[in-house]
Amino acid sequence: MVVGAPARYLVFFQYLGTRYSGVMETSNDQSLIGVQNYLEKAMQNLKPVAPVKFHISSRTDTGVHALCNSAHLDIQRAPGKPAFDEKQLVHGLNRHLKPEPICILNAHRVASTFHARFSALSRTYIYRLLMGCSHHSEIPVFERDLCWAPRGGGLEFWELKFRSRSFLYRQVRRMVGALVAVGQGKLTPHRIKELLELKDSRAFPSNAMAPPSGLFLKSVEYSAADLDPTVAPGE
């Protein structure tokens, strides 16, 4: 029996990262596993012919959240069954992701040459600071695990935005930590200059690293042509 070519999709998804080891797949015997594990388990419940791999565009670490991450995947359906349309795929995956705090936002049928990681034009991160807390108990209950609350100043939220095609490992957390450390007098601007000139991430003070709880991947950007539904899949 002849089986057609698999259909490639780009999916955008979001998650609260507190309960996961990060977005990437891990072995299932760990105490915390990756968001990718849950995505692929949900996909298997939609009965593809072959196991489906999510190719994640942007890695996030333990405790880091995503307002919008992305991945591409190839789905081979049984002979005689048409390819999923985008709404079917979103609805089916979300049904099987419950009750995890992971949600598929939307899906696009894309060309077989598209790659979620390498086709991305840029990534945007937001880091949320709650300034003015003298004790962690002052953090509003719904904001716990969703911000960093260094001491000092009046009680207010700050959001720092970073956009680039790619980032080094923990780069945003280092930049935010350095800014806060300078503001608190723990690092001098001159010392930051020295650290940059060293070009060695190991030289960065570990106690100046911003925690993961305040970091959100906000978006992954692609060209309009890559997401153009008038382009026939496979072209």
> Mind telling me the catalytic residues?
61
Is residue 235 included in any domain, yes or no? no
Whether 100 has a pLDDT exceeding 70, the answer reads yes
Residues in the chain: 235
Rounded distance between C-alpha atoms, residue 96 and residue 197, angstroms:
49
Structural domains counted in the chain: 2
Confidence of residue 1 (pLDDT cuts 50, 70, 90): very low
Task: For residues 83-96, give the mean pLDDT.
Answer: 96
CATH number of the domain bearing residue 55: 3.30.70.580
Is residue 149 included in any domain, yes or no? yes
Shared domain check, 175 and 135: yes
Shared domain check, 134 and 66: no
Helices of type H across the chain: 35-44, 86-97, 171-183, 189-198
Shared domain check, 114 and 133: no
Residues 15-49: tens digit of each pLDDT: 999 999 999 999 877 888 999 999 999 999 999 99
Shared domain check, 130 and 70: no
- Comparing 38-47, 101-110, 178-187, the range with the smallest average pLDDT is 178-187
Shared domain check, 129 and 205: yes
Is residue 234 included in any domain, yes or no? no
Is residue 232 included in any domain, yes or no? no
Whether 184 has a pLDDT exceeding 90, the answer reads no
Sign of CA dihedral 94, 38, 15, 161: negative
Shared domain check, 127 and 114: no
Shared domain check, 64 and 31: yes
Shared domain check, 34 and 129: no
Q: pTM, whole model, 2 decimals?
A: 0.90
Q: Which helix (H) or strand (E) holds 128?
A: strand 122-131
Contact 51, 40 (CB under 8 A): yes
Is residue 71 included in any domain, yes or no? yes
Shared domain check, 159 and 103: no
- Domain hosting 155: range is 122-218
Shared domain check, 90 and 160: no
If 0-12 CB within 10 Å is exposed, 13-18 middle and 19+ buried, where does residue 139 land? middle
Cα distances from 189 to residues 41, 181, 192, in angstroms, run 48, 10, 5
Rounded distance between C-alpha atoms, residue 60 and residue 24, angstroms:
8
CATH number of the domain bearing residue 187: 3.30.70.660
Confidence of residue 134 (pLDDT cuts 50, 70, 90): confident
